[in-house]
Amino acid sequence: MTVRVPSKINLHLSVGDLREDGFHDLTTVFHALSLSDEVTVAVAEEPGLEISGEGAEDVPTGPDNLAWRAVEALAAHVGRTDPKVRVVVRKGIPVAGGMAGGSADAAATLVALSSLWKLDLGRDELAEIAATLGSDVPFALYGGTALGTGRGEQLVPVLSRHTFHWVLAFDHEGLSTPSVFGELDRLRENGNPPRVGSHAPVVEALASGDPRQLALLLGNDLQAAAVSLRPGLRRTLRAGVNAGALAGTVSGSGPTCAFLCADAETALEVAAELAGAGVCRTTRVAHGPVPGARFVTGDDVRPTPPPQVHA
């Protein structure tokens, strides 16, 4: 039972004020990318979790792992105790990179395990369990392009007419999501960092399918905070545009930078040039939107791809 699950970037991320529950209200346009993880679940006498691939050494393999938390949440939902399953995660999504890799693994585990256990749960019921695991987990179930509100867990699909081509620049080290939100609160207490406007123009650009129009509108309130904690990102963002991308943005809480390109060929060129510019650890090309967590058949299951280009 193997499920492939996409990463995400935020084409638009507007962050409201800090709420009493420690979260911020968001308005965000999520966009699912082909850069993905794969999760396999199987019945096993020895329950546990194995991780390989991109950044695997930085991922906890115990009860804190989001995929394992998904096992426990689904088991609790249907009243099972002591789930005897083994979860194998092959990572392609950078860890703590602002691309929701842990959330993706949790979503994939919910889909795979509900099938393994022959539970008749629809995506909407899984999404309710998903939201208890993290703000980004429901989106990984649905994929595509979607407007997220609340903590990011309330989703409405957004029409997107075009396949967009992206270059992703991975940094040497991840950034913790709570610390980036905390840095934004600090910047706002001490000044007035720019805020992205309404999401409406982004939704219109997606419907038109013109990457040049979309490029002008990418915006992320967390970018100033991510750059404040990781000043080198400013150079990375500049280098991507100098290499020929239409525009660049920090993905979610960073530090991965996402560059929108005019077409697939340009994306390959930008990825190679950026990798050689010494401003990131490595680069990948990806396209979006792609569907959310979905089963892959035996022949289609692939090992985590090797890096395409190295800095």
Ligand X SMILES: Nc1ncnc2c1ncn2[C@@H]1O[C@H](COP(=O)(O)OP(=O)(O)O)[C@@H](O)[C@H]1O
Max CA-CA distance within the chain? 56
Q: Find out whether 27 and 222 touch, Cβ atoms under 8 Å.
A: no
Q: What phi and psi values does residue 7 have, to the nearest 5 degrees?
A: -85, 175
According to the 3-state scheme, what is the secondary structure of 169-183?
EECCCCCCHHHHHHH
- For ligand SUD, give the closer residue by CB, 59 or 243: 59
Residue among 4, 12, 24, 91 that touches ligand SUD (CB under 6 A) = 24
Q: Which of 242, 256, 243 is nearest to 168 (CA)?
A: 256
Distance from the Cα of residue 176 to its chain's centroid: 14
Min dist CB 301 to ligand SUD, Å, is 25
Q: Which residue has the tokens 């950078």?
A: 94
98 counts as binding ligand SUD under rule CB under 6 A: yes
- For ligand X, give the closer residue by CB, 253 or 266: 253
Binds 143: which of ligand SUD, ligand X, none (CB < 5-8 Å by kind): none
Binds 292: which of ligand X, ligand SUD, none (CB < 5-8 Å by kind): none
Residue 280 and residue 135: Cα distance in Å, rounded?
Answer: 27
- For ligand X, give the closer residue by CB, 66 or 257: 66
Q: Is 136 a catalytic residue?
A: yes
Beta bridge partners of 154: 149
255 counts as binding ligand SUD under rule CB under 6 A: no
Instruction: State yes or no: 158 annotated in a binding site.
Output: no
Distance from the Cα of residue 296 to its chain's centroid: 20
SS3 145: strand
- For ligand SUD, give the closer residue by CB, 7 or 114: 7
Instruction: State yes or no: 102 annotated in a binding site.
Output: yes
Residue 212 and residue 218: Cα distance in Å, rounded?
Answer: 11
- For ligand SUD, give the closer residue by CB, 23 or 295: 23
Residue among 253, 266, 282, 283 that touches ligand SUD (CB under 6 A) = 253
Q: Which of 11, 26, 7 is nearest to 204 (CA)?
A: 11
The residues of the shown chain that bind ligand X, judged by CB under 6 A, are 59-60, 64-67, 89, 95-103, 105, 174, 177, 252-253
The amino acid at 145: T
Candidates 133-141, 188-196, 229-237, 292-300; binding stretch for ligand SUD (CB under 6 A): 133-141
Q: Is 263 a catalytic residue?
A: no
Beta-carbon neighbour count of residue 262 at 10 Å?
16
Residue among 134, 174, 211, 289 that touches ligand SUD (CB under 6 A) = 134
Instruction: State yes or no: 127 annotated in a binding site.
Output: no
Residues at the site binding ligand SUD, with contacts judged by CB under 6 A? 10, 13, 22-24, 26, 28, 98-100, 103, 134-136, 151-152, 177-178, 181, 252-253
The residues that are catalytic are 8, 136
Show binding-site residues for ATP: 94-104
